[in-house]
Structure 1
Amino acid sequence: MTTAAGPAGAPGRAGPPASGSARAVVVDRPGEHRIVSGPQPLPEPGEVRIAVHAAGICAGDRELYDGTRHPDYVRYPVTPGHEWAGTVDAVGEGVDPALVGRKTVAEGFRACLACERCREGATNLCAGGYDETGFTQPGAFADRLVLPARLLHPLPDGADLRAAALLEPAAVAAAAVLAGAPRPGDRVAVVGAGTLGLLAVQLLAASSPAALLTVEPRSARAEEALRLGADRACAPEEAGKEAGGYDVVLETAGADVSAQDACMLARRGGRVILTGMFDPGALGVDPLHLVVNQLTVGSVFGASSAAWSFAVRAFTGGLLDPAPLITHELPLTSFGEAMAVVGAEGPDTGKVLLRP
């Protein structure tokens, strides 16, 4: 096995994989990574092997690399990468060989399928313990990825795998939309126009809302929300003028005040869904405001199988196009550089992809 290492901000130096070999990024501990090369992994019974086409980097990957992710939700050393799309190139015993050559994405949570939460369909809340591709299991920052075949969501032959790499965050956005249950004619607001927010805007636009507002401080992101289906956008400091005006509010920013802002936007009897990952010290929601206005507040952690199916159907049906969110594409060996781009949070940085 060969390795090539580099600090964040500097690409690794491993070359293209030799025949029969595969490369992978390995984060040994926070701040330290290697590009390793070795034999291609073989699928066990019930598993498939994926030739990765593209894999997205998100804030969770940056947390993994920086060492700020809660230790219960990461296991070092690990190959990151939970947002990806690719093609099945091998199957294990007991798996339909017709899957070979099929374009696909897959769920990340390795749910037990036996606990009470799994049996009611909430596979993202599995009581068997947290286990997820790219955090506790090898992920897609690699040439090849092996995972259980039961997690696959196959795509049509003509699917754009570059765009499909964003179907994991799209599934989270779909979970939020399903939880918010917008009806045609509802007034809907989205707080935050990052990846989740922009994907949610597209899904919500398909529900025929009477109004679709995006609250976002970055002008470029606000303009992108308008292009993707929002009919209005405003900065957070202007959102107070909209207080009490929305039937459904989706919070996707995870900022210090965004949960509070989302609740203030909701009408009396309205519905608020929180999806952002908040840092310690974020402002809470005023319980008196919740009670007096009889708000229904829900939250989303990851995506269930049902949310994945919803996102994939929206994508294959042409209602969801994640491609405009992609701003950077780098080779696998430039993992360090890609992480630095994500960490810099530049105004023109959207989704960053690694391309094996």
Structure 2
Amino acid sequence: MSGGASEDPGGGTATGRVREASGGGMAIARESEDFEVGPMGGDTADRPGDAPATSRAIVVDAPGTHRLVTRPRPKPGPGEVLVEVAAAGICLSDREVYDGNRAPGYVRYPITPGHEWSGTVVAAGPGVDPALVGRKTVAEGFRSCGTCERCRAGDTSLCSAAYAETGFTHPGAFADHLVVPARLLHPLPDDADLRGAALLEPAAVVAAAVRAAAPEPGERVAVVGAGTLGLLAVQFLAAVSPGELAVVDPRHERAELACRMGATHARAPAQSPEVHGRYDLVVETAGARTTAAAACLLARRGGRVVLTGMFAEGAVGIDPVHLSVSQLTVRSVFGAPSAAWSYAVRAYSSGLIDPASLITDEFPLERYADALALVGGGDPKTGKVLLRP
């Protein structure tokens, strides 16, 4: 998940199946060898014989148009590493890129999408510790400057420099390999499951929300929405031992899955008026038209609300009278600072969260069109969709 998209609507049980049949509503990508080679660095620390001389990538040339291209394997420049991609998640932000619905300034065509990923470092550019080669890793997507006032305060997701993000303005992980700044890496334990680790980007967004919410044991907590962010929020919050952990979602399949992941109960939005003013903390994850206002109604007087969904124009606003009279504390989350990434990686490495349980479908790069068609397709049994280069 990244700025500019609402919660993806997939859900359901984890089957981990890899689809191999052809089909889908979009044109099947064609192989091409006509591709511009990425930055060529100087001498690099490399793991001998571990990566092929060529690398494939999905390129979205313009909205609605994509190719599967083959190019020479990119080399990392100074301060960069080359990562062999193990898995990459697809979210609605990626669908926005393909459909041309992403806000101007937040995508740069032609682009290789993919901001949710995991992989292994296979080469280190000049100035990078060669010991990183061979390490399993994930990395922050926002390419913060590291020098502005907000970055120096640790709020890297509030960087005041020009927007730059892997998969939107820089080549992403819908490829065999990608090049990223080494400073953005969050190395994983040697025994880490890279399949589940591909979801650590949305997990970091949820971690930012949980850190902002500061939940305490025994509190009554509600999560609005049971998509990828909502189900990850349930896992994070369940680890804090709330007295009650409710999920609000209209889809029965999602509600059941949330309860299996730690929610104490679930209810449909139509039942929400019965519990208005009940919860100490409400985490909104859906980004739907009415969910911000609905989340505030669920919170008790003096309660806390954290908004993580991305709302489109026309969303129902929060009633300022209710906000002031109820003395609510409302926070919002856009992306994830470095501290939230560290929080998510620690939670994953220690087994407190299980992102792999959200995965339902996996495709090779050649099936990008079919994978993308599932995202936002409305099937409640579709959860997280992965590309496996």
Local SS of the residue matching 2:105 = helix
Gaps of 5+ in 1: 1-5
Pairs within 5 Å for 1:223-238: 223-238=256-271
Residue of structure 2 in register with 1:3 after alignment: none
Question: d(CA) in 2 for partners of 1:87 and 1:225?
Answer: 31
Return the alpha-carbon distance in structure 1 between the equivalents of residues 121 and 31 of structure 2: 24
Q: 1:76 aligns with which of 109, 129, 132?
A: 109
Tell me, yes or no, if structure 1 residue 316 matches structure 2 residue 349. Answer: yes
Between the aligned residues of both structures, percent identity stands at 67
**Per-residue deviation at 1:8?**
5.9
CA distance in 1, matches of 2:107, 2:222: 33
1:336 equivalent to 2:369? Answer: yes
Task: Look up the equivalent residue of 2:112 and give its one-letter code.
Answer: T
Contact 1:8 1:31 in 2 (8 A): no
- Report the residue type matching 1:179 in the other structure: A
Aligned pair partner of 1:120 in 153, 158, 169: 153
Q: Is the 8 A contact 2:26 2:369 kept in 1?
A: yes
Question: Shift in Å at residue 353 of structure 1?
Answer: 0.2
Partners of 1:168 and 1:68 lie apart in 2 by 21
Q: Is 2:206 the partner of 1:189?
A: no
Number of paired residues?
349
**2:164 match: secondary structure:** coil
Q: What does residue range 248-327 of structure 1 map to in structure 2 within 5 Å?
A: 248-327=281-360
Alignment of 1:208-227 (within 5 A): 208-227=241-260
- Higher relative contact order (Cα pairs below 8 Å, separated by 6+ residues): 2
CA separation in 2, counterparts of 1:177 and 1:74?
A: 28
Counterpart Cα distance in 2 of 1:114 and 1:308 = 19
Query: How many angstroms apart in 2 are the aligned matches of 1:7 and 1:228?
Result: 31
Question: Match for residue 273 of structure 2?
Answer: 240
CA distance in 2, matches of 1:12, 1:102: 31
1:147 to 168, 173, 180: 180
Once the two structures are superposed, residues 242-287 of structure 1 have per-residue CA deviations (whole angstroms, 9 ceiling, x without a partner) of: 1101011000000111001100000000000011011110100000
Q: Structure 1 length as normaliser, TM-score?
A: 0.96
The CA RMSD measured in Å over matched residues stands at: 1.4
**What CA deviation, in whole Å up to 9, does each residue of 1:281-300 have, x standing for no partner?**
01000000000000000100
Q: What is aligned with 1:9?
A: 26
Work out whether residues 24 and 373 of structure 2, in 8 Å CA contact, stay in contact via their aligned partners in 1: no
**2-structure distance, mates of 1:344, 1:135:** 22
Ranges of 4+ aligned residues in structure 1 off by more than 2 Å:
6-15
Question: Residues 193 and 215 of structure 1 are in contact (CA less than 8 Å); yes or no, is this contact kept in structure 2?
Answer: yes
Contact 2:30 2:67 in 1 (8 A): no
Residue by residue, what CA displacement relative to the aligned partner does 1:164-214 show, whole Å, maximum 9, x if unpaired?
Answer: 000000000001111111111111100000000000100000111110000
Aligned-residue offset at 1:7 = 9.2
1:170 matches 2:187: no
Contact preservation (8 Å) 2:250, 2:268: yes
Residue segments in structure 2 that go unaligned for 5+ positions in a row: 1-22, 33-50
2:31–2:67 CA contact under 8 A, matched in 1:
no
Pairwise CA distance, 1:240: 1.1
SS at match of 1:71: coil
1:65: Cα distance to partner? 0.6
- Amino acid across the alignment from 2:318: V
